[in-house]
Amino acid sequence: MKIQCPLNPITIERIDDYIQAGADEFYLGYRNTLTRHSDCLNRRFGAHVNFSSVDAGMAAVEQIHSKARKAFIVINELHYPPSWQDALLRDILKFAEHGAHGFIISDINLLIKLKETAPSLFLALSSTAHVLNSRAAAFYSRFGINKLILPRQLATSEIAGLLSAGENMEYELIMMNEEGPNLEGLCSFAHIPGESSPNICRQALLYNDFPPGSGYVVDACGACALYALRDFPDLCLKIARRGFGADWILKDVLFLRKAITMLHDCGSAREFAVRCAEEHETIYNDKCRTKCYFYVDYEPGYEITGGQTPSDITQGVVKYGSSRNHPSMPPHPDQDRPQ
């Protein structure tokens, strides 16, 4: 299994550390003249999340390419104005000329334009397209999709079914950090800093005001679920959150690489889950908090996990955990209801 690692203008200084730890691929976002001071090309805001220009992004791609690693460019808003299409196409072709291996896309109109103009490009369909079954995968394959990034809400049995469906494409699974409470591709909550509408994602707003490592559910993890997917060695594992600090991302790479090496050394889901929890404490110096991305056949007991949420991490709602409010925000009316 491969590991795909996020990069930003700060963490790229540690690219050699990530490669030594086991990173196989990298992905990054950028800003251009269309976005001015915002980051709306790829659904991620923040001063240090995206490279500041096309030229800065191309320099990063050249550095990745020089180290014999693949670079992917994120352009995954669900929709771009028609007037942006030609400018985005020019950016994409520039990145390809400078060694970018592929592009992470969601907008179906942009996909059509890319297929018509540059059919040889390697295209990865973002998880925001929300492909939940093999028929949806087959539909998108008509647009020249080479890699499918699976939504976070699939069960491992559903993931295995997709991987076994026979579509001629690669597959990627988000494994670490930033587990949103809603269906990503169908979520209608806004993520725009300064927006005053009530239709706001609480987690995104909190993250915008916190330093890297705070705000989102930073300890969300899907490592234990890998045991159910051990027969798919070509699966690519993505580390989410391009805005995280370099040390946190390095630990994520080390942890995932260790989990991959343990897969065929364990005789049961229970053994694998326990060893993952033990490695979590060793690598992060912090116990697993069982904030699981996916349902797993065995979850280690509290005596093995037992991690507590640090006071500087404000969590939103997660599927298998509790939630806490930021002190300045009123509680959600359903938050304290009996479970």
Q: Each residue of 216-269: pLDDT tens digit? A: 445 678 898 899 999 999 999 999 878 777 888 999 999 999 999 999 899 898
User: Can you tell me which residue has the tokens 């991490």?
Assistant: 313
Q: Which amino acid is at 177?
A: N
Q: If 0-12 CB within 10 Å is exposed, 13-18 middle and 19+ buried, where does residue 193 land? A: middle
CA distance 250 to 255: 9
> Which among 170, 183, 271 is positioned nearest to 224, based on CA atoms?
271
CA distance 251 to 192: 29
**What's the pLDDT score for residue 252?**
93
Both structure tokens of 178 = 């930033």
Reported as a pLDDT band with limits 50, 70 and 90, residue 72 is very high
Reported as a pLDDT band with limits 50, 70 and 90, residue 33 is confident
The answer on pLDDT for 310 being more than 70 is no
CA distance 276 to 189: 34
3-state secondary structure of 125: strand
Who has greater pLDDT, 97 or 298?
Answer: 97
CA distance 30 to 49: 8
**What's the pLDDT score for residue 312?**
40
Right CATH number for 2-212+224-245 from 3.10.20.340, 3.20.20.80, 2.40.50.100, 3.40.50.800?
3.20.20.80
> Which among 262, 321, 310 is positioned nearest to 287, based on CA atoms?
310
